[in-house]
Amino acid sequence: MCAVVVLFLGLFVGLKTVEALTIGSPLAITQQPGESLQNVTLESAAEAQYNSKGFALSPPESITLTSGSVSAANSSAPSLNTTLGTYIKCDGPALGFGLSRASCYGMFRNPMIGMQDTTQRTWGNRGSGAQMILPLRYMSQDGTCIMEPFLPPGSGITIGRASQAELVLGAGSIVHGCIVKPISEGGLARDFSSEGSLAVFVAKQEPHVRCYGDARVEGIVNSCYVIFETMPMDENARSFGVGGSVPLPWTQRAPDGRCYMTLRTSGPVDYSTWLTIWAKGVAIANMCLSQGKKGVWSGLGSSRHLYLELGQQNPLGNAATDPPSTS
């Protein structure tokens, strides 16, 4: 039975840094011709869960929220009223333990989320014609709490429909049901929209990001998101570096020339996936470029030789290299 709930999404003034927790999950890889892949793991619990296609969102695992179980963080916290029959599943082993309530609440302040936007939109993978292209990730300013909508695997759904406000309500259910408790953990939710055709997870991330320099260019974050929507994207582990399937350095730029993304290496050939590189790029854009700074994520790859840079200048010159084939 659907319960009428009032979700108070607290807007904390400060986002505190949470303790790091590294969660490694085996990566289901597809070996590319001529490559030797050993001990390759995903660098993110959320990516592992995204890849596993094993979301178990069943009614027995659901948590019923009531208005009495939710408390406002402060008197100025906005409230969202809705009728929800949301199923949530707390899954710390896959999505992380020790999430910061302040960071996850603060995530809803991200202007890209649009927590009060009730416009119904379509959500789908590349080539689906949807308005919102998946994968799509939002996160807190400190990068430790991430939220990602997805189409429920095995459901046969190719286009989801939901508003940004409904997405926030689904994620808010996870925060209240899984994170606001003595042992906080990430979780997944479904059935928060009128059609129930979209799901979402909230997970912990351990960012290895350094912000530096100046990247105060109007519209640069949106420019970077054009790269994220068009860059190579798959879950196959491949070799990056001299002699690898993807020569480095590799650079891609947005059509408007504002945002550039470059992958480099500090050592020999290393292994990763385009999905992982995409996720780290999103983190840099949200943590650094949104604050007018360049950024770099270091320690990428199975041997941690790779590092990813985002900024307003192309380190390789005026002409960006074409992205390599992912076939």
Confidence of residue 313 (pLDDT cuts 50, 70, 90): low
Domain boundary among 204, 234, 259: 204
What is the pLDDT, as a whole number, of residue 136?
94
| CB within 8 Å of 233: residues ≥ 6 apart | 126, 135, 274, 275, 278, 326
Distance CA 153, CA 324 (A): 28
| CB within 8 Å of 66: residues ≥ 6 apart | 3, 5
The percent of residues in the chain predicted with pLDDT above 70, rounded, is 69
If one counts the domains in the chain, the total is 2
Distance CA 40, CA 272 (A): 7
Q: Are residues 200 and 229 in the same domain?
A: no
- On whether residue 317 sits in a domain, the answer given is no
pLDDT at 265 over 80: yes
Confidence of residue 281 (pLDDT cuts 50, 70, 90): very high
What is the pLDDT, as a whole number, of residue 110?
84
- On whether residue 318 sits in a domain, the answer given is no
Least confident of 106-115, 163-172, 180-189, 274-283: 106-115
What is the pLDDT, as a whole number, of residue 81?
37
Q: Are residues 179 and 40 in the same domain?
A: yes
Q: Mean pLDDT throughout 33-57? A: 40
Distance CA 229, CA 206 (A): 23
Contact between 252 and 231 (Cβ < 8 Å): yes
Q: Are residues 172 and 305 in the same domain?
A: no
How many H helices and E strands in the chain? 6, 19
What is the pLDDT, as a whole number, of residue 26?
27
What is the pLDDT, as a whole number, of residue 193?
87
Select the more confidently predicted residue: 55 or 252: 252
What domain range includes position 72? 3-204
